[in-house]
Amino acid sequence: MNFQQLRIIREAVRQDYNLTEVANALYTSQPGVSKHIKDMEDELGVEIFIRRGKRLLGLTDPGKELVGVVERMLLDAQNLHRIADQFSGKETGNLVIATTHTQARYILPTVIKQFREDFPRVHLVLHQGSPQEIVQLLQEGKADIGIATESIAGVPELASFACYEWQHAVIVPQGHPLAELPALTLEAIAQYPIITYHEGFTGRANIDRRFSEAGLATDIVLSAIDADVIKTYVETGLGIGIIAEMAFNPARDAGLELLPTGDLFVTNTTRLALRRGRFLRSFAYRFIENFIPGLSEEVIAKQLKVEADG
């Protein structure tokens, strides 16, 4: 048994049992993938995959048990290197953060600036993606830290921590009729074409839910993952915008007006997630503590620990 065999078993599950995709992901050949799988099955004395001819269809019962062990073995192999780096006394390495555009653009700059001042020899990698992509990067061990509002809570392999709460707000061009109202209502907002976030991003589900609960139909004329894009099209007069309140900057968005929505929309919670069982370098803990003041290394480590019984 070797690590390449373990990687192939894990990748076969990730690639939905498509051996061509497994070979591409691991930069090897399909015949080589098939041979490694067969060699491992022969060594263990069990079939790992259900087959139809040469095609893999899924995992056998032994295979389902084995995959969890394979994941832990590969994770522990990564941890060995991180532990060695930690105790070598060198504050060098990579810190990979997966997050959404909103977090990367409006929330993280000050935290990252402070981190760079504290750890100038650590290379920061910032992956921007959807909440689902962030979860996948964490699960696959390709990111150390994930930050998003959707999707990351409730994933068994991840430990997540509340970061901060935020509200949606309406943006309109200067002089828009909505700005003249003494108080915004959902009914008033629904009278205009709306530009807001794409489904699955930045609290969009909460926006849709509130209009649905009020029995109001909305005309979503454009959706985007980027608040800057939403603001651009609001400026053109295409519609009114609903964005995260933190994405509005009066100095930069001089042609627009922000209209707070009070309790019209539910409060959203951004969370930080980590892969359970993954060893974190000390500088990763410092980043988290800067981002979530009061969250100690001890509390984080306790949540990350994987119990021996699974």
Mean of all residue pLDDT scores within the chain: 90
> Does residue 30 sit within a domain?
yes
With a pLDDT cut of 90, the percent of the chain lying above it is 58
Task: Give the mean pLDDT of 266-276.
Answer: 94
> Does residue 33 sit within a domain?
yes
Question: Rg (Cα) of the chain, in Å, rounded?
Answer: 24
Task: Give the mean pLDDT of 63-90.
Answer: 76
Residue 243 in this model has a pLDDT that exceeds 80:
yes
Task: Give the mean pLDDT of 270-276.
Answer: 95
Residue 219 in this model has a pLDDT that exceeds 80:
yes
Pair (125, 172) in one structural domain: no
Which is more confidently placed, 302 or 219? Answer: 219
- pTM of the entire structure? 0.74
Pair (190, 149) in one structural domain: no
Pair (37, 160) in one structural domain: no
Pair (189, 254) in one structural domain: yes
Pair (246, 218) in one structural domain: yes
Task: Give the mean pLDDT of 255-283.
Answer: 92
Q: Kind and range of the H or E element at 163?
A: strand 158-166
Which of 84, 116, 135 is where one domain is finished? 84
Pair (157, 293) in one structural domain: yes
Pair (262, 143) in one structural domain: no
Residue 144 lies in domain: 92-164+269-304
> Model confidence at 90, in pLDDT bands (50, 70, 90)?
low
pLDDT at 309: 39
Q: What is the CATH number of the domain that holds 175?
A: 3.40.190.10
Q: For 121-178, how does the pLDDT look when each residue is reduced to its tens digit (9 = 90+)? A: 999 999 999 999 999 999 988 899 999 999 999 898 899 999 999 999 999 999 999 9
Which of 84, 105, 130 is where one domain is finished? 84
Burial class (CB in 10 A: 0-12, 13-18, 19+), 187: exposed
Task: Give the mean pLDDT of 234-256.
Answer: 94
Task: Give the mean pLDDT of 50-62.
Answer: 88
Task: Give the mean pLDDT of 76-90.
Answer: 69
Residue 14 in this model has a pLDDT that exceeds 90:
no
Which of 58, 84, 110 is where one domain is finished? 84
> Does residue 59 sit within a domain?
yes
Which is more confidently placed, 204 or 82? Answer: 204
> Does residue 309 sit within a domain?
no
Pair (173, 258) in one structural domain: yes
The CA-atom distances, in angstroms, between 70 and each of 24, 122, 138, 192 are 20, 30, 16, 53
pLDDT at 273: 96
pLDDT at 88: 61
> Does residue 174 sit within a domain?
yes
Pair (157, 185) in one structural domain: no
The CA-atom distances, in angstroms, between 173 and each of 73, 140, 238, 277 are 56, 43, 10, 49
> Does residue 310 sit within a domain?
no
Task: Give the mean pLDDT of 177-188.
Answer: 94
> Does residue 58 sit within a domain?
yes
Q: How many domains does the chain have?
A: 3
> Model confidence at 3, in pLDDT bands (50, 70, 90)?
confident
Pair (261, 172) in one structural domain: yes
Neighbours of 258 (CB within 10 A): 18
Task: Give the mean pLDDT of 256-268.
Answer: 93
> Does residue 214 sit within a domain?
yes
Q: What is the CATH number of the domain that holds 45?
A: 1.10.10.10
Neighbours of 89 (CB within 10 A): 6
What is the spatial distance between Cα 211 and Cα 137, in angstroms, rounded to a whole number? 33
> Among 113-127, 262-276, 295-309, which stretch is predicted with the lowest mean pLDDT?
295-309
Pair (206, 173) in one structural domain: yes
> Model confidence at 87, in pLDDT bands (50, 70, 90)?
low
> Model confidence at 306, in pLDDT bands (50, 70, 90)?
low
Pair (289, 160) in one structural domain: yes
> Model confidence at 307, in pLDDT bands (50, 70, 90)?
very low
